Amino acid sequence: MMYFQCSLSQGSARTQAYIPERGAGVGKMIEIKDDGFDGLWKVEQVADKGIDERALREKQARDRDPFGSIERRH
């Protein structure tokens, strides 16, 4: 399954998220299944290129540990 980075809006709130291809269409209304994101969000923009699920999971892991490639000093 491919995921696309999308700009989303809900009233005056804005966010970006990677969403599955089936929901990645300008004007679609989607639900984000994560804490703090209630209700439906409107897809405002969709990136031209998507990434597969494995690549997305690897990116998320790197984003959670931005200094993982730096050797720790003791």
The pLDDT tens digits for 27-48 are: 999 998 888 888 999 999 999 9
As for how many domains the chain has, the answer is 1
Q: What is residue 52's predicted lDDT score, i.e. its pLDDT?
A: 96
Domain span including residue 32: 2-64
Is the residue at 26 inside a domain?
yes
pLDDT at 61: 86
- Token output for 13: 């709130």
> What pLDDT score does 71 carry?
61
Please state, in angstroms and rounded to a whole number, the distance separating the CA atoms of residues 27 and 34. Answer: 21
CA distance 43 to 28: 5
First-residue to last-residue Cα distance in the chain:
42
Confidence at residue 73, expressed as pLDDT on a 0 to 100 scale:
59
What's the pLDDT at 74?
55
Residue 38 within a domain? yes
The segments of the chain whose pLDDT lies below 50 read none
Residues 6+ away with beta carbon under 8 Å from 61:
none
Distant-in-sequence, close-in-space partners of 14: CB < 8 Å, separation ≥ 6: 7, 8
